[in-house]
Amino acid sequence: MPSPTTRTSSRRAVYDALRNRIITLDLPPGSPLSENELAATLGVSRTPVRESLILLQQEGLVQVFPKVGSFVSRVDPERVADAQFLREAVELASLDDLPDELDPEIVDEMRENLALQQATTDMETFFQLDEAFHHGLLRLAGHGRTWPTVSAAKGHLDRARHLGLQEKASTQGFLDQHLGILEAVLTQQRETARTLVRDHLRAVFADIESVQRHSPELFASNTGTAPRRRSVAVWS
């Protein structure tokens, strides 16, 4: 019989895998979720899958409808706004704590990060580099340990950001914003840095509006309405 530690580890691995697939849109909003199929794909029993879906339901990333099934939730703009508010509050507050002498190793890492952003054409790679850049800003201010908490709270926001990246033909605009932010930080233009970070983080709202215009089915309208299973991988 597996030990409690093994069961917990298995559930965590399944939860992380499913959450990542939802956030990266590998499992798009509205996708039906079959415990049997997910268990077979992940090579586990149904138990950790079921437990993980419960956790994801509590997070609002999965909806369960009795006698119908489980589905990836549609993107809820209100939840996105809440997550963005939290992230903005943390990142702007951290700028107030930037020391006069910045850690040169972190600065070098961030410069290398920007060079990698410039070089990549892969959207998911760019997303991960974007995450590391913002984590770097927190680390410069001595608040790097807050990043896991921020990251765990922004699942809905990250789905919206992925949709926004899919809208873009190029990531150059985001890169230019990152370059401006780092330059303002390095030259101790704190108010400029705050303005640039705020505008950069709030750009997700324009992306949502753009995606909603041509793909409204990806977004929540009446979250209490049970879906109807169809042969396609979305519900209506």
HSE-CB at 148 with a 13 A cutoff on CA atoms is 1
Identify the band that residue 11 occupies on the pLDDT scale cut at 50, 70 and 90. confident
In a domain, 236, yes or no: no
Under 8 Å between Cβ of 87 and 151: no
In a domain, 132, yes or no: yes
HSE-CB at 85 with a 13 A cutoff on CA atoms is 6
Residue with tokens 């041509």: 214
Instruction: Say whether both 182 and 83 belong to one domain.
Output: yes
Burial of 24 (0-12, 13-18, 19+ CB in 10 A): middle
Per the structure, the complete domain to which residue 86 belongs is given by 77-214
Cα separation, 196 vs 56, in Å, equals 33
pTM of the entire predicted model: 0.88
Residue 208 makes CB contacts below 8 A (sequence gap 6+) with: 75, 77, 80, 160, 163, 164, 219
pLDDT in tens, 160-192: 999 999 988 789 999 999 999 999 999 999 999
Instruction: Say whether both 99 and 135 belong to one domain.
Output: yes
Count of domains for the chain: 2
Helix (H) or strand (E) holding 65: strand 62-65
Domain boundary among 16, 46, 73: 73
Residue 8 has pLDDT above 90, yes or no: no
Domain boundary among 43, 73, 103: 73
How many C-beta neighbours within 10 Å does residue 212 have? 15
| Amino acid found at 161 | R
pLDDT in tens, 37-96: 999 999 999 999 999 999 999 999 999 988 889 999 999 999 999 999 999 999 999 999
Q: Which residue has the higher pLDDT, 8 or 134?
A: 134
